[in-house]
Amino acid sequence: MTDLFQVPWSDYRSDLLDALWRTLSYTVVSFVGAVLLGLAVALLRLSRAWPARAVAALYTELFKNIPLLAIIFLSYFGLASAGIRLDVFTAGCLSLVVFYAAYLSEIFRSAISGVHTGQTEAGQALGLGRVGIFGHIVLPQAVRQALPGTNTMLVDLLKSTSLLVTVSAAELMSEGRLITSSTFRALEVYLVISAIYFALCYPLSQLLLLLERKVRAGVPLSPWRRRRLRAARALLAQDAPGATAGTDVKAGAV
């Protein structure tokens, strides 16, 4: 075992930190883009216009059935041969966005469709428009249903950034390959890189699981909703003494 740990890791600390930062940057940017694109595609799938549904379905089926590695090669090498040159970061994020947006669109579509139509009818009875119904009634309920699948996609996207090693994206796996080429200690290097990925993914998955439990329990997450909940509790507390007094008066009259 003493022969296993012979890499001078202190010499590579700054490079590993830079690679870690780049990995996190790929993850955050790509996930935000995938969520936005996935939501747009999901809404197109639910549109009343059949051309919009057809385009969205074609996109979803296309990118769900093409390997992510092939998409990375097309974004970085394929577009360059066609005269469209993207830097590594843009090509990597674009690949992750279009790939994971296809899966997220299915999760979002299923979650939105799972909201009972009676909720929409109730919003219409209250005089809300389509945007108001979607933003205040449908979307909050759909988020609760979509959260487990979305959380899984986020952790999977973080791990999939390792595939960007094929285009030398300077993320963790690329840095591991560089350290291996200079030290020839492949087992030790990739064990450490794997441990770093585990240290990133496991706490993230546990935090997302905790978030999912809080949302299912009805805990308000946004400051606006927390303020509204406190205001509602204050109103109920003010009404409670009056209700008690009214009950006592009725009891005395009897």
Please give the Cα distance from 165 to 176 (Å, whole number). Answer: 9
Is the per-residue pLDDT at 81 higher than 80? yes
Cα atoms in the Cβ-side hemisphere of radius 13 Å centred on 37:
21
DSSP classification of residue 196: H
- Six token digits for residue 121: 């009818």
List C-alpha distances in Å: 215 to 53, 106, 179, 208, 247: 31, 21, 43, 10, 36
Each residue's pLDDT tens digit, 205-254: 999 999 888 887 777 766 777 777 788 788 888 876 555 445 443 444 44
Query: For residue 46, which of 124, 145, 147, 117 has the smallest C-alpha distance?
Result: 117
pTM value is 0.84
Angle at 185 between CA 21 and CA 197, to 5 degrees: 30
CB atoms inside a 10 Å sphere around CB 110: 15
- Six token digits for residue 227: 């303020």
Residue range 58-70: average pLDDT?
95
Query: For residue 161, which of 31, 27, 64 has the smallest C-alpha distance?
Result: 27
Each residue's pLDDT tens digit, 148-171: 999 999 999 999 999 999 998 989
Interaxial angle between packed helices 186-216 and 13-45, expressed in degrees from 0 to 180 and rounded to the nearest 10: 40
Task: Report the mean per-residue pLDDT for the chain.
Answer: 87
| Cα dihedral: 120, 126, 132, 135 (round 10) | -60
Q: Is 233 left (phi over 0), alpha (psi -120 to 50) or beta?
A: alpha
Residue range 56-84: average pLDDT?
94
